[in-house]
Structure 1
Amino acid sequence: MTTTPAQHAAVIADALAAVVRHRTKPGPARNALEHITDLLDIAVLAFVDSEQFADPASTAATDVPVDAALALQDAETLASDNPQTGLPRGFTAVVLAPVTGRAPELPAPVDPALAQLAQQQTTLCSRLALVEEWLLDTEHPEATADYVATSLTLRTRLAHLATAVDNRRPASQR
């Protein structure tokens, strides 16, 4: 089944909202996570609406609806301001992959000193790159939710790894 980039972005945003919604449990992060899912729902609607009112003559593949862009930016900010959500920086980047036509950028390498941590980082980045490349596949929308969940898990693991590496450094090097 082939879909338009905006339709595929809506599917990814919806899957991401479902994953975040699943993480929402009573606790200090609950309100922030609920607000983030609301923002992801706004992005879904913005992508759907952009399809309804799209100019058929337009061939611009990189047009991101303003409402979607703002909602995703607000979700990122909210997650950053509330680290107890457990959502890593850049977690919404997968939503824009179909619209931009390229997989999101990988998190910056943390250059761990220990060989074991370096190997973990390499493995996680390789897996993340592969999964996020698969997210561009519009022929198998039934796999999108699993890819989104895996992407978020890998990005979270990389964020934890970066924190662990940073905590191992002397305070003078941080």
Structure 2
Amino acid sequence: MTTVTPLPNALVAATRARAFAAAARRLDRPAVAAALDAAALDFETDTPGTLDGVTITNTIPSGAYLALWDAETEIEDNPVSGLPCNFAGYIRQAIYRTWPEEPAPLNPGSATLAAQETGLRARLAVVRDGLDAARHPGDVAALVDCLVTLHRKLADLADAVTADHARPDVQSATAAEPFALDLAGCTAYTAAILRTAHAKGLRPTWGQDRGNARRIVLNAPGPNGAFGSIQIGKRTGKVLRAEVIPGNDRAAIHATGTNAVRTLIASLPTHP
């Protein structure tokens, strides 16, 4: 009798594949579910190869590779299914350790929509962290359901942003001041906060670094315009703290941590 010894990361990939298969069935996509079940079975029954006596840990079995490709192709051909087109990347991440590309920035002209985008991307980052650590099938299934829901909400928000951009006042404002801040090294959560600051009319720009932190300068126009700064970790790209003065002769408001800074920026009035 042949002994099968799959690697732990292959079993993690199999658990995720079965969770996405269950989601596909609930969305009435039996072909996608069947392909994902086939991928899961291959992950569970494949014994990894070796090279010069060293076990190869970062490859996907050929059967699973083809099954994931079939599932993704089905979704790409029918994008209204409710699953994100890159969903198989969440399964491959267990092997390759690289998350799929995030949805493209929406760049809303409305502060309300910008705050919604910030919130959804923040929740997506939290769910990804949870999925990375989860091993129990029930926990994985719950997190996969959250991922599907968040991607769907981002897609719905993208439609709302497109409709909002069609308004003449938003078109002129967007054309006058496009969001062009270099976000290299920033996390998705940080980038979303900075986009909210831009949508609020705070005109975020890079300032001089301070110690281990990079500094974003905020400077809304007018005597009642808010100004201040946001500090971002050089190594982590995460928001550390912020100080905002909401107008001349007003007391400074301080916030520490990404959630508090997001709340602070979202609470500020929009400046023209």
Q: TM-score range by the shorter chain?
A: 0.7 to 0.9
Q: 1:165 aligns with which of 135, 140, 161?
A: 161
Q: What amino acid does structure 2 have at the position aligned with 1:161?
A: L
In the alignment of these two chains, the number of paired residues is 160
Q: What amino acid does structure 1 have at the position aligned with 2:16?
A: I
- Alpha carbons 1:103, 1:129 under 8 Å: kept: no
Deviations 1:30-72 (A, max 9, x none): xxx111111111211221132xx22364444321223222222
- Alpha carbons 2:25, 2:33 under 8 Å: kept: yes
Of stretches 13-22 and 74-83 in structure 1, the one that deviates more from structure 2 is: 74-83
With structure 2 as the length reference, what TM-score do the two structures score? 0.53
**Does residue 115 in structure 1 map to residue 119 in structure 2?**
no
- Alpha carbons 2:48, 2:55 under 8 Å: kept: no
Equivalent-residue separation in structure 2 for 1:86 and 1:142 (angstroms): 21
Higher helix share: 1
Between Structure 1 and Structure 2, whose CA radius of gyration is higher? 2
Equivalent-residue separation in structure 2 for 1:164 and 1:60 (angstroms): 46
Q: CA deviation at 1:74?
A: 2.3
**Does residue 126 in structure 1 map to residue 130 in structure 2?**
no
- Alpha carbons 1:12, 1:148 under 8 Å: kept: yes
- Alpha carbons 2:48, 2:56 under 8 Å: kept: no
**Does residue 16 in structure 1 map to residue 20 in structure 2?**
yes
Task: Please give the root-mean-square deviation of Cα atoms over the aligned residues, in Å.
Answer: 2.3
- Alpha carbons 2:14, 2:40 under 8 Å: kept: yes
- Alpha carbons 2:27, 2:82 under 8 Å: kept: no
Higher strand share: 2
| Structure of greater relative contact order (alpha carbons < 8 Å, 6+ residues apart) | 1
Equivalent residue for 1:97? 93
Equivalent residue for 2:57? 61
Equivalent-residue separation in structure 1 for 2:54 and 2:159 (angstroms): 44
Deviations 1:121-164 (A, max 9, x none): 11111111111121121554431110111111111111221222
Q: Secondary structure of 2:133's match? A: coil
Of stretches 9-18 and 79-88 in structure 1, the one that deviates more from structure 2 is: 79-88
- Equivalent pairs: percent with the same residue? 38
Q: 2:84 aligns with which of 88, 91, 95?
A: 88
Q: CA distance change for structure 1 residues 127 and 18 in 2, over 3 Å: closer, same or farther?
A: same
Equivalent residue for 1:27? none
Q: CA distance change for structure 1 residues 58 and 134 in 2, over 3 Å: closer, same or farther?
A: farther
